[in-house]
Amino acid sequence: MTATNNDWIAPLQAVHTAPGPVPNGFEATSINVPDEVLDDLRLRLGHTRWPDELPDAGWAYGTNRSVLQSLCRAWRDTYDWRATEARLNAWPQYRTEVNGTPIHVIVARSPEPDAMPLLLTHGWPGSITEFLDVIEPLRNPAAHGGDVADAFHVVVPSLPGFGFSGPTPEPGWDVKRVAEAWAELMAGLGFDRYIAQGGDWGSFVSTWLGLVDPEHVAGVHLNMAVGFPGDGEITDAEAVDLTAMGDFLANGCAYQEIQGKNPQTLAYGLNDSPAGLAGWILEKFWAWTDHDGDLFDAVGQQAILDNLTTYWVTGTIGSSTRIYYETMKTGRFATHDAKVEVPTAVAQFPAEITKPPRSWVEAGYNLQRYTRYDRGGHFAALEEPDLLIDDIRAFAQTVR
């Protein structure tokens, strides 16, 4: 592991030194998006050429135009990236290189000396901005009404090819390779024993970490369960979940097909048009969150724009989708023929896109905790941060 200047992107500039010694092989950095990048974004939003839409189409054909137009107006006229940039820069950040690929990581160490390291991995179409509301209470529970015994050193990397890690410079970055890189990353940061947590692609990466680094992974915590058909009993509620999963696989996976087979073709439009990027991603927030018809009741407009801006200013929407291509090519969505023996917990939220029965999950994991919640969806850290925090804490108490 060696440090890199990450010349791939102008917005990242090392403008301060992180508190404490910088680990060997890392360099301190922060985020400073040039004004001209943000000015260009607003200019492009103002020149969007909108497509037609059938009357009363709603979301039946894809992203609703009026909702998208309202979001893009806010993105152009009122959204303040600098506030989010300041929140990100409140934490020590580093850049490094793993296998020739740049990695950006936030390392928010706890003031508690006995804190457990916790590795949070996002997915697609997410980013590290998903975790802005959970880092501080996880890191410093005593300041948020919690117990000092529940403190974590919180590590939040951007997946290779995503956000401030920048584009992957070579092929082959499937979920197993990311897990191997995360094992190297945690070792380089000096963390010998840690919990791996994630949803979406972070769920698959955390699963693989339980296999490739079991001597250092104390536990795996997932907010999107991974499971395969088995012989166990299925409850009535789980049968309903399976019906919903079948509908998702039949009608909600078009994005997986193109991102898994022709990601470069898609990238030209999404990397050139912020409205196109927003339309592609907003559909997922609409479909995968727990709401009653108003998406922004489930996930605030600010949070969605934070996420979109992260993809836009780093130019990584194309490289982010390559994880689908690479993982489909290797078939490593999950472990299939190997069981994760390290203790595992699942926080199951009702609007999640895949909800395999508990017996299916138990077939592939040493499942120690399985909790079904009555609210929340795919973006747990954004939708229900308190529930997610409490579930991670409760699980960690059993593996510390």
Look at residue 360 and tell me if it is in a domain.
yes
Q: Which domain holds residue 141?
A: 12-399
The count of C-alpha atoms lying within 13 angstroms of the C-alpha of 323, restricted to the half-sphere facing its C-beta, is 24
Per-residue pLDDT band for 232 (boundaries 50, 70, 90) equals confident
Confidence of residue 19 (pLDDT cuts 50, 70, 90): low
Q: Mapping DSSP to helix (H, G, I), strand (E, B) and coil, where does residue 49 land?
A: coil
Locate 309 and state its tokens.
Answer: 């801006």
| Direct distance between the N- and C-terminal alpha carbons of the chain, in angstroms, rounded to an integer | 28
11 pLDDT higher than 80: no
The answer to whether position 103 is within a domain reads yes
> CA 6 to CA 142: how far, in whole Å?
37
- 11-25, 220-234, 323-337, 355-369: range with highest mean pLDDT: 355-369
Question: In the annotation, is 291 catalytic?
Answer: no
At position 338, the amino acid (one-letter code) is A
250 vs 238: CA distance, rounded Å: 18
Residue 392 lies in a domain: yes
Whether the link from the prior residue into 125 is cis, omega within 30° of 0, is: yes
378 is catalytic: yes
Structure tokens at 237: 């509620």
User: For the domain that residue 108 is a member of, what is the CATH number?
Assistant: 3.40.50.1820
Write the CA distances from 156 to 129, 164, 264, 278, 380, integer angstroms: 10, 11, 27, 24, 15
**Predicted local confidence at residue 2, as pLDDT:** 38
Of 79, 94, 255, 324, the active-site residue reads 324
CA distance linking residue 365 with residue 367, whole number of Å: 5
Catalytic residue, from 104, 153, 221, 378: name it: 378
* Residue tagged active-site, from 174, 200, 213, 306: 200
Q: Are 322 and 165 in contact (CB under 8 A)?
A: no
Q: Please report the pLDDT score of residue 21 as a whole number.
A: 81
Q: Average pLDDT in the 267-287 region? A: 98
Domain assignment of residue 141, yes or no: yes
In the chain, how many domains are there?
A: 1
Residue 7 lies in a domain: no
1 inside domain: no
Average pLDDT over residues 341-350: 98
Is residue 147 annotated as a catalytic residue, yes or no? Answer: no
Give the Å distances, CA to CA, from 106 to 93, 134, 257. Answer: 4, 13, 32
pLDDT tens-digit readout, 84-142: 999 999 999 999 999 999 999 999 999 999 999 999 999 999 999 999 999 999 999 99
3 domain-assigned: no
pTM higher than 0.75, yes or no? yes
Report yes or no on 5 lying in a domain.
no
Give the single-character DSSP code of 133: T
